[in-house]
Structure 1
Amino acid sequence: MFLLSKMRRSTVRGLSGTGWGMIALFLGVLSLGAAQNNTNSSFIPKVAILMNCGSQGSKSDAMGRSWVGDEESKYAPPTVANLVSAAASSQDPSLPSPVPYMTARIFTAPATYSFVVSPGRYWLRLHFYPSDYTQSYPRSDAIFTVASNGYTLLHNFSTSQTADALTQAYLIREFSVNVSNDHLNVTFSQDRKSGYAFVNGIEVVSMPDLFNSAPLVGADAQFSISSSTVLQTMYRLNVGGQAIQPIKDSNLSRTWYDDTPYIYGAAYGITGDNGTNDLVYGSIPQYMAPVDVYTTYRSMTPDPTVNSNFNLTWMFYVDANFTYLARLHFCEWIYTLPNQRAFNIYINNQTAETAFDVIGTGANLGNPIYKDYAIYVPAQEGDPYLFVALQPDVAVKPQYYDAILNGLELFKLNDSAGNLAGPNPVASIVDNSQGPDSGVNASPSSHSSSSKGPVIGGVAGGVAVLGLILALFCFIHRRRGRSSDGDKPSGWLPLPLYGGNSHTMGSKVSTASGKSGTGSYVSSAPSSFCRHFTFAEIQEATKNFDESRILGVGGFGKVYEGEVDGGTKVAVKRGNPLAEQGIHEFQTEIEMLSKLRHRHLVSLIGYCEENCEMILVYDYMAKGPLRGHIYGNSNLIPLSWKQRLEICIGAARGLHYLHTGAAQTIIHRDVKTTNILLDENLVAKVSDFGLSKTGPTLDHTHVSTVVKGSFGYLDPEYYRRQQLTEKSDVYSFGVVLFEVLCARPAINPSLPREQVSIAEWALHYQRKGMLEQIIDPLLKGKINPESLKKYGEAAEKCLAEQGVDRPAMGDVLWNLEFALQLQETAMENKLVDDSTTDLIQMSPDYSHVNNSATYAVGDNSTSTSTAGHSLASVDLDDVTPSAVFSQLVNPQGR
């Protein structure tokens, strides 16, 4: 077919009329056969029910799909007193459509929808919008169970907790249910007497039987998926391409999401789009996945050396104690011969297949195929993750060291008790967020890009063996009591906190508390700056790591609330040996924070490294991360614009101190809203220094380093050139500024392509002078226009494509302080003015002041820099403000 495709696109000369006729006939027959093949493999659903619960009549959603109300529907439960029709109290701006989310059917007793259908498999999709439905039905009281034909789909399901943890406005849960009789029943029942169950929309769509059997990874066996197995769709990704809406998916109404938020590490590879009509489904039915899935792809870099040392990896948060089916979709568009591109497939550090070669399977160029693998995810310490990784198989010496993937689906299978329900996710306090989930999938947003589980090395099997060896070592180490032997090193590597051999761990000393440092080998860091805790002290502080004390989970491990020294609250971060961050981040955190003290940096109180443990102890931050206060947690009181400005100013002061106030420039490298924590007075403090780097010296303009950070916040120049400067922090902070203003995640893959990245989306509106159109609805009418203008300009400058065009953090800080001055002055004027004119319409004209400020900030002279420092931080009070800046301290006076 590839040869014929080339013939169609080329000019054929010297053929007689008969020759042309024969070729035309030949091509016509083949085209007819291909068309018949595609027609035969298409699927037309016999049942396609879209029910708008709590509504009457027929209404269309934003995609033009018609939803029928369940009022008096033959499928709905009988009309009794425990059924209530209710409307949501407010509409979140991120809802894809008012239908079906703005009305709900509420149940205060078990109730069943009964759909009359023919035997076969069906997609069952449940839509939930956690909202207050009148005062009688607050969103937090919705905790319920959903069952279908004898299977438990959801249990103790809290829609509000789940939505808050995943920072989603709405939830979609999709199941594949087999019906053996003529009824598909869906039963809702509340799990608390004072609570209720609800649903906004139900889809029942007939589907072909897509599932059969798959090799069980890690065992020499096949896992059979019977006709009675129920599956839940956990993830469905269009790898390397844009999101695909249900109306573009082969009559099966599936949604395919962008894979970018799920990529693990900095190895993103490259994406491609064939952009032609040469796709021929061949041996698989065309409903297996849409054309757009197979014509777009993600492959590795053009550098074979890089590819041979790194994996192309995706990370997924899953529920433990379930078997999962991973379906990988492939279509080769570049290589035409076997062994040109051969690679290994790893799932959860186990080899699923070696030397996999798309062309080697018998497929031709443009022929899609798919591979299924089953894997069981057992219970484990910390959050369970499932990894899919690809790496060139150098053992078979392929012509090109590369790998490719076009699409990925991950399904959870019911257990032996007929259960599919997992626990509600918990919002992380110090999580390294990567962006929200689309609705169908469990999101990594509550389980960060930096909390991505174990590092997948070059050869997955080797890493697994190494992990077992490490675990065995730690077990033996504890059993033998080696931590009490003063002549033996501790379980973790020595920490040269200040460089040089004289500061490595090597002698047992007492802790600051006066208790014995049993088994501890601390550096010579001043004990007043970095206290050493014994493991027994940590156990006592956390009540032996009581699960009820967990504040959150990050890339290093779990964080517990603790109490030391008779009641002082602390945050205890316990390292997970299988987590992404390890000894290097542990050392970096101590090395950085033990030397830093600043009002806007989270203080490190101490650490513990006994008994194969890595534990860090910090100041307790009562209000948690900034992100939870601007979106994702409706239980918190919304922040005013003044509070948001003050928090951004505090964070900027902390970063400014890192860049200019420490002995050496320190580049944070992971600035984002989850790493800005708030104390009980809403004072912002920058946290999580595990990825931090000491910045460039006078002889160097940058630090060359492996790219690390969080997707959505990552400086594009740093990503391209792998050259780190403090301007990378400035870029990330610019993303934070727009995130605070617009109250939405840095990355939201469920939105249209142009809105996925807040940096691109907000910059577009900022440059058009329409930034006020996309701000947090809670702030509309409450921001002084000049304050908003100055704030938007500051954020825009931070996001300049080239680092050299971005301002220093001191200049960003000054602009934010000036924006705050403008807001406060407008508020004072409003109090004086008896008029009821809205604040957004009555701002005074500060154009002359603003112009002066812009000029001063844009000037790179010494006086501007000095002035910027004077206003930037109360911690740098030995600098005198310049005349220009002193006039701007109180703009009302001018």
Structure 2
Amino acid sequence: MHSNSCCVLFLVCIYIVFNVIHAQPVPGPTKILLSCGNQKGGNDADGRKWEPDSKYLVNADKSVESKAETQDSSLPSDVPYMTARIFNAETSYKFSVNGSSRIFLRLHFYPSPYPNLNISNSYFSVKAGGVTLLNNFSAATTALALSQAYIIKEYTLAPSDLNDLSLTFKPSDKYSSSFAFVNGIEVIETPEMFDDNTGMVGFAGGDSSVTVEATKASMETMYRLNVGGQFIPPTNDSAGLMRSWYDDTAYIFGASSGVTNKANTTIRVGGLAVILAPLDVYSTARTMGPDPNINKNYNLTWVFEVDANFTYLVRFHFCDYLYQKVNQRVFEIFINNQTASDTLDVIALAEGANQPMSKDFAVHVNGKQDNNEIWVALHPNVGVKPEFYDAMMNGLEIFKLGDGKANLAGPNPELSDLMRKQQEHNNKKFAEGKSYTSAIIGGAAGGAAAFGIAAAIIFVSQNRKRRHPGNHSMSSWLPLHGHSQTSSTTISGRSHGSTAISSDAASNCRYFSLAEIKQATKNFDESNVIGVGGFGKVYKGVIDGDTKVAIKRSNPSSEQGVNEFQTEIEMLSQLRHRHLVSLIGFCEEGNEMALIYDYMGKGTLREHLYNKNKVTLSWKQRLEICIGAAKGLHYLHTGAKYTIIHRDVKTTNILVDDKWVAKVSDFGLSKTGPNMNQGHVSTVVKGSFGYLDPEYFRRQQLTEKSDVYSFGVVLFEVLCARPALNPSLPKEQVSLADHAMRCQRNGTLEEIIDPHLKGKVKPECLKKFAETAEKCLSDHGTDRPSMGDVLWNIECMLQLESDSSGSQHSRVPSGSNEGSVQNMDHISLMAMHRNTLSLGSEHDVTEQSEDNPDDIFSQIVSQKGR
């Protein structure tokens, strides 16, 4: 009996132990985020926590921690980009992973100047396990060629038999003083997302029996697109894999881009579909359009630039939420002019409507005849006689597969002659003892500058030049100083520096010696500092005995702002307008760079909006300042020789002189605008958060409407007297643009306007002002007004206010018929004025309207531009 009791007790104990063991939490998939060279780690802008990288290093003594000397405005956050791990010899990280799982590996590179290092000397290789990810890789060259400030390389590593992942960085042996570096590393386990066998296309006779065993292949992500939809940020990735999905517009070939639509039904997302793509991908689509006759005669086509001599896996994402039955829409898929599928019926393959699915194909891109593109085309299948002649797609991904030598590394992008000369110039300056490398870095799309979009910029420009061989304008999207005729210029017998200032620019403004600048600022006395910006400190100074000037001095310890310095000189030396701050001259001597401007005695617009030490502006003053700034921007967009896009419109860049005349300033980020036939320029995203055009941010396509968006934020800032971003407020109020638009739509805008204005603004004027600002903030640039229209509206508002204040004169432009402005049509007013705005003119006729308050309306130039 006693033995039986012992047996029972033993079994009970075993049962309890067994359940306790199984009650322990099961370790989740590996997710490691390393902020390299950062001893403390930290959180990024999305709230993700990054840890220090030191504990994962195998031989830490062969590396050093470093901090970037400059911070590009496009960086999404300090973490992980502002610190780096520098490798002077072969060094490895080791991670414990589940060998049977596929691994997402992302490498973040920010090729900024680092102390005592010439970033353009950095060439290195990277291996993960036995796979070569990068070889002889130059992050600086890649960033320069792609106009990106930072680079993200993403790989999906095939499962292996090992539970350790070794990641090795090795400086190149081909270059002396070469080093490797990395800013951030992500290691994330993911379920298998690929099929055992993926059919190849591109063989004679369409032999689909040739397959790729994708489950055993390591890959590099080349493109990931939300077709027919907007950019999807990493935080919206339903699978937690932090993938970015980009707008497909930049890749569409030809004028026929089809139509986009959004689901108004419930998408049945579950199982593997959740991992393959977020719900947002399957909820939008691009189709060919409603006209069957048109659809039968064209292909809906995308083109992608890739590395030659590799095999690529092309993944299509489909979800048909418009039709309900089989054979309603059947279409063909072509990849590089070869049939991948001739009868694709999404509803039949997915076994129902509203059901997500994916379809993979593989294609080999050979190196013959400079072939380095993948063309994807859709066309209705007329032969099976579907109910609708149409084709559609929701998402697209392209992955590069490792070759037979376990290699994924492609060549560095080739630089244009101008870029190469600039890089050689930078290297020469570094060798002379100057840290002169920041000019090799372009700015970028802010949080959206990842692998696929970066390549698009190069491709789009090349593709358009191919389609328009006579058009060479795309080459001008380098900083303006890249077109300089000479690297140094001598004025009045004095050699002044080493930046590439063109002779035209140098002849249009005055050169100051460093001694003159020091005398003007009392040797840069801190008591003369009147402002601080990204370029450096701004000093009040006096030249020629009694002329007050503002002197913007670069930080002498680094080369931050070299591009901005030269762009400002090239730009402003050719522009003269009452509402643009005038550049008097520049100094570039020794390790100093400085720009000398007219002194603006009243400071910035921002100071007068919510700085209690300044004069509180009346509503009329605010309108007049807005009109002045709008005139300056309108001139840039339509009145100069080329369209000029400011790219950094904000209240700190609108200055006011002693007579309260507003002037637009700071042209360091400005671009000469696009060829009018193209409408935009694909370029790096730069600007100031809070004012940044979301469409420009998503698509990296800059237009003058990006300035209009920023000016809309300025208008709300003028009305509400609060910053564009205020992190101390509740989350829904942090962004002024979002908060003001929400209040405007809800009819509660009056609750957030400046208390000093309440009861002092005519209701009709307030309504028109808010509507104008709202239109400026439209999601799509095509829905925004031009700066000319914005200017016209604000001038009408001032007329309303002037009439309501009992003014004895009607403020109608002189020579017009008597009556209110509202009764005049726009065309009549335009005809009343002569277009006298031209490049290089000292003044325009708007000066008269400032001196005579009755002539308040601006000189309206052609809205069509040139």
Q: TM-score range by the shorter chain?
A: 0.5 to 0.7
Cα distance in 2 between the residues matched to 1:440 and 1:66:
22
Deviation at 1:209, TM superposition (A): 2.2
Aligned pair partner of 2:63 in 67, 70, 83: 83
What is the Cα deviation at residue 773 of structure 1?
Answer: 7.1
* Alignment partner of 1:127 is 2:116: no
Task: Classify 1:185/1:804 alpha carbon distance in 2 versus 1 (closer, same or farther; 3 Å).
Answer: closer
| Residue 818 of structure 1: aligned partner | none
- For the 8 Å contact 1:434–1:711, the answer to whether it is kept is no
Partner of 1:508: none
CA distance in 2, matches of 1:633, 1:388: 42
2:143 is the alignment partner of 1:163: yes
Structure 2 residue 225 is the aligned partner of structure 1 residue 237: yes
Distance 1:189 1:654 in 2: 48
Contact 1:434 1:444 in 2 (8 A): no
Deviations 1:558-616 (A, max 9, x none): xxxxxxxxxxxxxxxxxxxxx3336xx58x99xxxxxxxxxxxx9xxxxxxxxxxxxxx
Residue 181 of structure 1, aligned match among 151, 162, 169: 162
Residue in structure 2 matching 1:747, options 663, 687, 696: 696
> How many residues end up aligned between the 2 structures?
569
Query: Does the 8 Å contact 1:144/1:156 carry over to 2?
Result: yes
Q: 1:855 to 1:447 in 2, by over 3 A?
A: farther
CA distance in 1, matches of 2:788, 2:310: 50
* Compared CA separation, residues 269 and 883, structure 1 to 2 (3 A): closer
Residues 1:197 and 1:50: Cα distance change in structure 2 (over 3 Å): same
Aligned-pair distance for 1:435? 8.0
Q: Which residue of 2 aligns with 1:423?
A: 411
**Are 1:434 and 1:445, in contact at CA under 8 Å, matched by a contact in 2?**
no
Separation in 2, partners of 1:683, 1:205: 39
Specify which of 42, 47, 66 is matched with residue 30 of structure 2.
47
Query: Compared with structure 1, are the counterparts of its residues 430 and 657 closer, same or farther at alpha carbon in structure 2 (3 Å cutoff)?
Result: farther
Aligned to 1:108: 88
Which residue number in structure 2 is paired with residue 473 of structure 1? none
Q: Is the 8 A contact 1:738 1:759 kept in 2?
A: no
State yes or no: 1:758 paired with 2:706: yes
Q: Give the CA deviation at 1:770.
A: 6.3
8 Å Cα contact 1:748-1:756 kept in structure 2: no
Counterpart AA for 1:217: V
What is the CA distance between 1:193 and its match in structure 2? 2.6
**Are the structure 2 counterparts of residues 311 and 291 from structure 1 closer, same or farther at C-alpha, using a change threshold of 3 Å?**
same
Write the distance in 2 (CA, Å) between the matches of 1:639 and 1:424. Answer: 27
- For residues 652-667 of structure 1, the aligned pairs below 5 Å read none
- How far does residue 340 in structure 1 lie from its aligned partner after superposition? 0.9
Q: What CA distance in whole angstroms lies between the structure 2 residues aligned with 1:737 and 1:98? A: 16
| Counterpart for residue 638 of structure 1 | 565
Once the two structures are TM-superposed, the CA of residue 254 in structure 1 deviates from its matched residue by 2.5
Q: Does 1:870 align with 2:853?
A: no
1:366 aligned residue: 354
Letter in 2 for 1:261: A
Change (3 A) 1:264 1:774: farther
Q: Separation in 1 of the partners of 2:95 and 2:847?
A: 76
Question: Which of residues 279, 282, 285 in structure 1 aligns to 2:268?
Answer: 279
Show structure 1 runs of 5+ residues with no match: 1-42, 453-554, 557-578, 590-601, 603-620, 625-629, 660-667, 675-681, 692-707, 714-734, 776-791, 816-850
Q: Does residue 1:203 correspond to 2:186, yes or no?
A: yes
Compute the TM-score of the two structures, normalised by the length of structure 2.
0.55
**Cα drift, residue 163 of structure 1:** 1.8
Distance apart, 1:139 and its partner CA:
2.9
Change in 2 beyond 3 A, CA 1:863/1:285: closer
Letter in 1 for 2:380: P
Match of 1:837 in 2: none
- Could you tell me how far 1:637 is from its partner in structure 2? 5.2
Q: Deviations over 1:279-325 (max 9, x none)?
A: 1447x553222222222222222233332333322222211111110
- In the other structure, the counterpart of 2:848 is 884
TM-score (norm 1): 0.54
**Paired residue for 1:151, among 112, 131, 134?**
131
1:331 aligns with 2:315: no
Contact 1:797 1:807 in 2 (8 A): no
- Equivalent residue number for residue 241 of structure 2: 252
- Paired residues for 1:776-791 under 5 Å: none
| Residue pair 1:126, 1:174 contacting (<8 A) in 2 also | yes
Q: In structure 1, how many angstroms separate the alpha carbons of the residues matched to 2:706 and 2:242? A: 28
Alignment of 1:564-583 (within 5 A): 579-581=466-468
Change (3 A) 1:763 1:45: farther
Distance (whole Å) between structure 1 residues aligned to residue 241 and residue 685 of structure 2: 38
Q: Percent identity?
A: 35
Offset from partner CA, 1:170-225 (integer Å, 9 cap, x none): 21111111332222111111223312111111111112222232221112133222
Q: CA deviation at 1:123?
A: 1.1
- 1-structure distance, mates of 2:848, 2:163: 80
- List alignment gaps of at least 5 residues for structure 2: 1-25, 420-442, 474-482, 484-501, 506-534, 536-558, 578-632, 648-668, 726-771, 796-810, 856-866
Q: Measured at CA, do residues 141 and 244 of structure 1 come closer, stay the same or move farther in structure 2, by a change above 3 Å?
A: same
Cα 1:329–1:336 change in 2 (3 A) is: same
Q: State the one-letter code of the partner of 2:395.
A: G
**Residue 867 (structure 1) shift:** 6.2
Using a 3 Å threshold, how does the CA distance of structure 1 residues 340 and 657 change in structure 2: closer, same or farther? Answer: same
Aligned to 1:216: 200
The answer for the alignment partner of 1:261 in structure 2 is 250
Aligned to 1:354: 342
Q: Tell me whether 1:303 sits opposite 2:314 in the alignment.
A: no
Contact 1:108 1:197 in 2 (8 A): yes
Task: Judge which range, 266-275 or 433-442, deviates more.
Answer: 433-442
Letter paired with 2:146? L
Judged with a 3 Å threshold, the aligned counterparts in structure 2 of structure 1 residues 801 and 170 are, in CA distance, closer, same or farther, namely closer
Per-residue deviation, residues 465-499 of structure 1 (Å, max 9, x unmatched):
xxxxxxxxxxxxxxxxxxxxxxxxxxxxxxxxxxx
CA distance in 2, matches of 1:867, 1:155: 62
> Match for 1:123: what amino acid?
F
Aligned partner of 2:148: which letter? Q
Aligned to 2:449: 438
SS class of match (2:836): helix
Work out the CA distance in 1 between the residues paired with 2:67 and 2:670: 38
Report the alpha carbon displacement of residue 96 of structure 1 after superposing the two structures with TM. Answer: 1.9
Q: Secondary structure at the match of 2:697?
A: coil
**SS of 1:884's equivalent?**
helix
Residue by residue over 1:74-127, the C-alpha shift from the partner in whole angstroms, topping out at 9 and shown as x without a partner, is x213231x3111122233232222222221111111101111223222111111
* Per-residue deviation, residues 481-523 of structure 1 (Å, max 9, x unmatched): xxxxxxxxxxxxxxxxxxxxxxxxxxxxxxxxxxxxxxxxxxx
1:801 CA displacement: 6.0
Q: CA RMSD in A?
A: 5.4
TM-superposition CA deviations, 1:314-342 (whole Å, max 9, x none): 22221111111000011111211122111
Q: Does 1:225 align with 2:237?
A: no
d(CA) in 2 for partners of 1:873, 1:658: 5
Once residues 744 and 53 of structure 1 are traced to their aligned partners in structure 2, the CA distance between those partners, rounded to angstroms, is 31
Q: Which residue of 2 aligns with 1:409?
A: 397
Q: State the match for 2:769 in structure 1.
A: none
Counterparts of 1:346 and 1:581, CA distance in 2: 25
| Equivalent-residue separation in structure 1 for 2:372 and 2:67 (angstroms) | 37
Whole-angstrom CA distance in 2 between matches of 1:62 and 1:758: 23
Shift of 1:249: 3.0
Aligned to 1:441, the other structure's residue is in SS state helix
Alignment of 1:531-550 (within 5 A): none
Mapping of 1:822-837 within 5 angstroms?
none
